[in-house]
């Protein structure tokens, strides 16, 4: 009786199964999302005077992350209808997709893929537009799986409903297919800084081959590409490839020539689009590198995505509302745990009862379970008499001759 009342009290107070108060539990997971687990345990003791171990901090943080990861993956099911977005969809959105390497066990590097979504804001003093209302989605997976899983965040931000969408990336080969699945008619823009790096490398290769370039050559190419278009810059790098031929030079020139349609920077600026993927680079540092690329860190692959689910939720300013998913999962776990223990207690009581009665002697066992009396014979006409509709006589009546004719 006391256990049942205690269970109702747990439900009423919404206490987690961790043994901590809801506030301490949420604070511990939040700290574990921000800093290494050992420091998170120390900070919790400093802030709330609650002492937990490093292993408990790791377990509760990974458990909450796995819950959020499962919930996000459920939202990304392709056959599931997209829920009505509670947020107002901006008219113009920007998708910036990129990858960042992290160290995983045993001693290898794996690429975390991330999509950053932002709304185009008003131009700053420099005249270039910037992005605001940023949100993030990241996973350690292959490109095809990432494109499917990112559809949940794509739906939530209303990318399909936006009037115009631009996709800014660094030109990696796996990104175009991902953008195609997210918004096929998105405007493709090659990151300006990434293109500038290729032009700089071409100039360096030419100088190493003995071609003399003016000290202001690189700045002139940047200015020309930004305000006049890529045609003159492509002509210049092709000239250098003729003067200093090499496989590396040919590869970089072919890279720029293939993406000429994504380098129409004067037109992009005139239309009010940003031309740099700075929000993707800053997102990589904010979401991934700040927590998963610390000194000496090597992650198990199974631990990466739960941590990414927590980091993206926190960085997207949705911690308060998405934490309700973790609380609901905690209530489900508590109810399941209570039912499991109750079933185990019932099974144990049944086994004890069976063992007790099997050890009793037969006379005492019969006293507890007496033999039921035999059923009494039914009186009146039999079923055969009712069925045939005529009177029949029993053998005894026939022998006595009570119905014989006289």
| 242-283: pLDDT as tens digits | 999 999 999 999 999 999 999 999 999 888 898 887 888 888
Tell me, yes or no, whether 105 and 183 share the same domain.
yes
Asked whether the beta carbons of 30 and 346 are under 8 A apart, the reply is no
Q: What was the pLDDT predicted at 301?
A: 93
CA–CA dist 240, 207 (Å, integer): 10
Average pLDDT, the chain: 83
Tell me, yes or no, whether 181 and 95 share the same domain.
yes
Give all strands (DSSP E) within 199-328, no chain letters: none
Average pLDDT of the segment spanning 25-31: 94
Total domain count, the chain: 3
Q: Is it the case that residue 17 has pLDDT exceeding 90?
A: no
- Cα 371 to chain centroid distance, Å, stands at 63
Place of tokens 């030109």: 171
Long-range contacts of the stretch 67-70 (C-beta < 8 A, 24+) = 67/325, 67/326, 67/329, 68/306, 68/309, 68/310, 68/313, 68/322, 68/325, 68/326, 69/305, 69/306, 69/308, 69/309
Tell me, yes or no, whether 159 and 298 share the same domain.
yes
Tell me, yes or no, whether 254 and 304 share the same domain.
no
Give all strands (DSSP E) within 122-279, no chain letters: 131-139, 164-169, 187-190
Q: What was the pLDDT predicted at 295?
A: 82
Tell me, yes or no, whether 126 and 254 share the same domain.
no
- Say if 135 falls within a structural domain: yes
Tell me, yes or no, whether 220 and 265 share the same domain.
yes
Give all strands (DSSP E) within 4-107, no chain letters: 92-104
User: Which of the two residues, 353 and 312, has the higher pLDDT score?
Assistant: 312
Q: What was the pLDDT predicted at 4?
A: 44
Q: Is it the case that residue 79 has pLDDT exceeding 50?
A: no
- Say if 387 falls within a structural domain: no
Angle between helices 319-358 and 54-75 (to 10 degrees): 110
User: Which of the two residues, 357 and 224, has the higher pLDDT score?
Assistant: 224
- Say if 10 falls within a structural domain: no
Average pLDDT of the segment spanning 162-172: 89
CA–CA dist 17, 24 (Å, integer): 12
Q: What is the DSSP letter of 298?
A: -
Tell me, yes or no, whether 289 and 345 share the same domain.
no
Average pLDDT of the segment spanning 308-322: 94
CA–CA dist 309, 114 (Å, integer): 11
- Say if 382 falls within a structural domain: no
Average pLDDT of the segment spanning 285-301: 90
Tell me, yes or no, whether 113 and 49 share the same domain.
no
Average pLDDT of the segment spanning 199-204: 92
Domain containing 21: what range? 16-75+320-353
Tell me, yes or no, whether 179 and 288 share the same domain.
yes
Q: Is it the case that residue 299 has pLDDT exceeding 60?
A: yes
- Say if 106 falls within a structural domain: yes
Tell me, yes or no, whether 172 and 280 share the same domain.
yes
Average pLDDT of the segment spanning 7-18: 59
- Say if 3 falls within a structural domain: no
Phi (first) and psi of residue 230, to 5 degrees = -85, -10
- Say if 159 falls within a structural domain: yes
Tell me, yes or no, whether 242 and 161 share the same domain.
no
CA–CA dist 350, 229 (Å, integer): 83
Q: What was the pLDDT predicted at 249?
A: 93
């Amino acid at each position: 009786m006391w256990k049942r009342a205690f269970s109702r009290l747990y439900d009423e107070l919404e206490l987690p199964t961790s043994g901590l108060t809801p506030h301490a539990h949420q604070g511990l997971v939040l700290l574990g999302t921000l800093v290494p687990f050992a420091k998170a345990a120390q900070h919790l003791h400093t802030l709330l005077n609650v002492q937990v171990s490093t292993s408990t901090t790791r377990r509760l943080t990974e458990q909450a992350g796995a819950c959020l990861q499962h919930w996000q993956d459920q939202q990304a099911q392709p056959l599931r209808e997209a829920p009505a977005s509670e947020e107002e969809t901006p008219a113009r959105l920007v998708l910036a997709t990129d990858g960042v390497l992290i160290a995983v066990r045993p001693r290898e590097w794996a690429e975390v893929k991330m999509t950053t979504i932002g709304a185009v804001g008003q131009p700053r003093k420099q005249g270039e537009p910037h992005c605001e209302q940023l949100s993030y989605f990241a996973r350690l997976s292959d490109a095809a799986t990432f494109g499917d899983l990112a559809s949940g965040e794509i739906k939530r931000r209303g990318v399909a409903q936006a009037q115009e969408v631009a996709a800014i990336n660094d030109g990696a080969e796996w990104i175009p297919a991902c953008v195609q699945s997210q918004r096929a008619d998105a405007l493709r823009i090659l990151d300006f800084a990434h293109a500038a790096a290729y032009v700089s490398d071409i100039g360096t290769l030419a100088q190493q081959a003995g071609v003399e370039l003016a000290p202001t050559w690189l700045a002139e190419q940047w200015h020309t590409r930004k305000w006049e278009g890529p045609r003159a810059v492509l002509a210049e790098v092709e000239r250098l490839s003729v003067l200093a031929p090499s496989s590396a030079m040919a590869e970089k020139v072919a890279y720029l020539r293939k993406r000429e349609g994504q380098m129409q920077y004067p037109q992009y600026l005139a239309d009010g689009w940003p031309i740099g993927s700075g929000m993707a680079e800053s997102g990589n540092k904010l979401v991934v590198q700040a927590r998963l690329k610390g000194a000496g860190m090597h992650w198990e692959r199974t631990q990466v995505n739960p941590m990414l689910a927590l980091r993206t939720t926190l960085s997207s300013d949705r911690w308060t509302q998405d934490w309700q998913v973790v609380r609901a999962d905690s209530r489900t776990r508590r109810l399941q745990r209570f039912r499991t223990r109750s079933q185990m207690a019932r099974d144990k009581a049944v086994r004890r009862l069976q063992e007790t009665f099997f050890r009793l002697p037969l006379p005492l066992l019969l006293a507890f379970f007496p033999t039921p009396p035999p059923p009494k014979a039914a009186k009146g006409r039999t079923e055969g008499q009712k069925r045939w509709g005529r009177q029949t006589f029993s053998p005894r009546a026939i022998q006595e001759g009570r119905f014989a004719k006289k």
